[in-house]
Chains A and B, each alone.
Chain A
């Protein structure tokens, strides 16, 4: 097991270096002088330009610049946002809990609905529950989620007036953020209605962000179950005279979960991509919206930092999932 983790770490480090190079090159690949680009139409004086060149280290040779960048990352220094003049690291981690909270809710939503749906579809293969569930899953999988978000807003916010359109909590409530998770903070604040308001704000973004992972998990669970259901050991379980709940829910599912967990891990990337759209539409103050705004306002140091951090988070989650995979798969555990 230890050697498995070490081997996995062995591929992590080169990928990390590669990712850091990509995000480092991002600013250097921009057509033109990055300082002038970031300044925009206003332009700037020659002295100010020279001063900024030194401040951002653009006057150094490329190798030195990269070395400074890499050691900076390891110290938690992603540079200074061009627009807000605050450290990118701080900006990122001030917003990240919002994205994390939304993503966690979305993945829980997707897993809780997706795995049972996949099991039912596989066991009822070819019959109507399978057809209904898998058609729905395919629609979900094909959904342009930015449009799906707008539709849900029209229906639930516009026509029914059930849910708010944007933000994380009603402006009526104010309390200092402790954990950064609105659900926890609102509960801790003790203000009446604060938690309900936070939940209300979460519902639509969760559904929107969870839709594609839900569809993917349901489809993957079904196909993993189908594969496992034709395995010899499932036949053995049936030959023991065990009931369908034990055959499907224990013998088959335990094995089918192995690929499903991998898919859940891989959907972290999908979630991050989805978060960009979902947060933009629902004005959710997370890193996805921050990145889009960063590109819009040409705050390239912020975009660079966000790019690196999001890739790193995806990589770490995948690493954890792989180790988890080893834990639930006894063949690797040894």
Chain B
């Protein structure tokens, strides 16, 4: 009964027939296909552009910022933005309580934000993927031990654990980043392990084993590239989580310390002016929101483009 089922025959049609097939379009390459799916998501494109803009701002902060991030203009305390009464074009977005230019601080803040994201993702993804690979390949008691350990880490609300770790390490931006990196790392372990377990029984792994690939080669060259899709998506997500959590720690006084122009720390300074000077509160938060939103938009686009399950058929 399987006789009529489509079966690919090894003997290809002869030359004349081949020419006649004249395909309308060739199947696109994997990257092109990925890019096609990514571009279909307008939000993802917008997110990508905004994110690139943020990177450029961070890179060229010295050129772009009209003032220094820390210089205090004592003649212009809490000056409103240029378009409001009492504002001037000298300080486009106004000044804060000690007379520092908001715009310049926001521009320099982009550096911190980007820096935090990169470092946290490197810490958490680097260790998480390694441990996840180990757990997935080792199985047995090593696996159990690692996963129970991750369960323990995940039992704590992330911000709380980061908070407590900073309390141990002492409040600073570096310690905040380390703490957030450790807190986010279990997600990578779980993802990588799950992906490895899914790939291991597949034929290509077996054939690589049969050919005699070493364990390390099997882990990093054979299996890991096929587990990358969910890890990349997670990286995008944890980039934005890192920025949010670092800002939250800064806001609680446990992250970057004043006068660092980190957006969360700026908000902490601005708290007492909530009802008096809306601009010192609004702009840093808006910067965080737009940055995080852009990365999340990109992350959604990545997930849709990489996850074959959600692809339209």
A binds B: yes
Q: Are the CB atoms of A139 and B157 closer together than 8 Å? A: no
- Considering only CB atoms, which chain A residue lies closest to B170 in the complex? A31
Complex CA gap A292/B310 in Å reads: 41
In the bound complex, residues from chain B placing their C-beta under 8 Å from that of A281 are: 271
Q: Is A93 an interface residue (CB 8 A)?
A: no
Min CB distance B194 to A, Å, is 15
Q: Is B219 an interface residue (CB 8 A)?
A: no
Interface residues of A in 206-232 (CB under 8 A from B): 223, 226
Q: Are the CB atoms of A26 and B151 closer together than 8 Å? A: no
Q: Are the CB atoms of A150 and B267 closer together than 8 Å? A: yes
Q: Is B288 an interface residue (CB 8 A)?
A: yes
Interface residues of A in 300-315 (CB under 8 A from B): 300, 303, 307, 310-311, 314-315
A138-B296, A153-B274, A314-B156 known; A144 and B244 CB under 8 Å?
yes
In the bound complex, residues from chain B placing their C-beta under 8 Å from that of A184 are: none
Q: Which of A31, A135, A142, A277 contacts B289 (CB 8 A)?
A: A142
In the bound complex, residues from chain A placing their C-beta under 8 Å from that of B288 are: 144, 147
Q: Which of A135, A147, A158 contacts B43 (CB 8 A)?
A: A135
Min CB distance B147 to A, Å, is 9
Complex CA gap A154/B170 in Å reads: 32
Q: Is A151 an interface residue (CB 8 A)?
A: yes
| Surface stretch bound by A, among B77-85, B94-102, B161-169 | B161-169
Query: Binding site of B, secondary structure by majority: helix, strand, loop or mixed?
Result: helix
Min CB distance B46 to A, Å, is 11
Chain A interface residue count, CB cutoff 8 Å, equals 50
Q: Are the CB atoms of B275 and A157 closer together than 8 Å? A: yes
In the bound complex, residues from chain A placing their C-beta under 8 Å from that of B284 are: 147
Complex CA gap A78/B250 in Å reads: 29
Min CB distance A287 to B, Å, is 10
Q: Is A63 an interface residue (CB 8 A)?
A: no
Q: Which of A144, A148, A307 contacts B156 (CB 8 A)?
A: A307
In the bound complex, residues from chain B placing their C-beta under 8 Å from that of A272 are: 157, 160
Min CB distance B302 to A, Å, is 14
Q: Are the CB atoms of B289 and A15 closer together than 8 Å? A: no
Query: Binding site of A, secondary structure by majority: helix, strand, loop or mixed?
Result: helix
In the bound complex, residues from chain A placing their C-beta under 8 Å from that of B289 are: 139, 142-144, 147
Complex CA gap A296/B247 in Å reads: 18
Q: Are the CB atoms of A142 and B292 closer together than 8 Å? A: yes
Interface residues of B in 271-310 (CB under 8 A from A): 271, 274-275, 278, 281-282, 284-285, 288-289, 292-293, 296-297, 300, 310
Complex CA gap A90/B23 in Å reads: 76
Q: Is B76 an interface residue (CB 8 A)?
A: no
Q: Are the CB atoms of A295 and B158 closer together than 8 Å? A: no
| A and B contact pairs by CB, cutoff 8 A, 22 listed | A11-B151, A15-B155, A18-B155, A19-B155, A31-B168, A31-B170, A142-B296, A144-B248, A144-B264, A144-B289, A144-B292, A146-B264, A147-B281, A147-B285, A147-B289, A150-B281, A154-B281, A157-B275, A273-B158, A276-B159, A307-B164, A311-B157
